[in-house]
Amino acid sequence: MSGLPHEMAALATSSDIDELGHVNNLVYLRWVQDAAVSHWRALATEGEAATIAWVVLRHEIDYVHAALPGDRITLRTWVGTATKATFERHTEILRAGDQRVLARARTLWCPVDPKTGRLKRIDADLRARVSVPDLTPARP
């Protein structure tokens, strides 16, 4: 297991397109969530997956270039700064063909107990295993 960036593929389908002819902003948000879930599933042990759920405290998305119908998308995500109660997740949304950055997101996640919904403190070993703060990009 490693906190290195995780990648997954997506496709801009016709149902993702808004009245301006490009991918709707809500789709970018869905992609950010999809990448986070995929990354957690790849990183977590069976025990961690069963005892830790995640809720979003904050989303920030910078839209750089439009994704268009049929674009193949690469979602790249990693955890930056992690504390006992919050994990800062970064996501880049790129057009797969030319690796052009379409959007960048920073999301603050909070671990919770899936049975109670209450905050779940994360131990130092898990924080160290999943976070890579040196990859955190500078914000514009």
Q: Could you give the CA distance from residue 113 to residue 37 in angstroms, rounded to a whole number?
A: 16
Domains of the chain, with CATH numbers? 6-135 (3.10.129.10)
The torsion defined by the Cα of 5, 66, 64 and 107, in degrees rounded to 10, comes to: -50
Evaluate if residue 2 carries a pLDDT over 90. Answer: no
Give residue-wise pLDDT tens across range 90-131.
999 999 999 999 999 999 999 999 999 999 999 888 888 888
Query: For the segment 21-57, what is each residue's pLDDT rounded down to a tens digit?
Result: 999 999 999 999 999 999 999 999 999 999 999 999 9
Give the model confidence (pLDDT) of 54-93 as tens digits. 999 999 999 999 999 999 999 999 999 998 899 999 999 9
Q: Average model confidence (pLDDT) for the chain?
A: 92
Q: Which amino acid is at 15?
A: S
Give residue 19's pLDDT.
Answer: 96
Residues 75 and 97: beta-carbon distance below 8 Å: no
Q: If you compute the radius of gyration of the chain from its CA atoms, what whole number of angstroms results? A: 15
If phi over 0 gives left and psi between -120 and 50 gives alpha, with beta otherwise, what is residue 21?
A: left
Residue 7 has pLDDT above 60, yes or no: yes
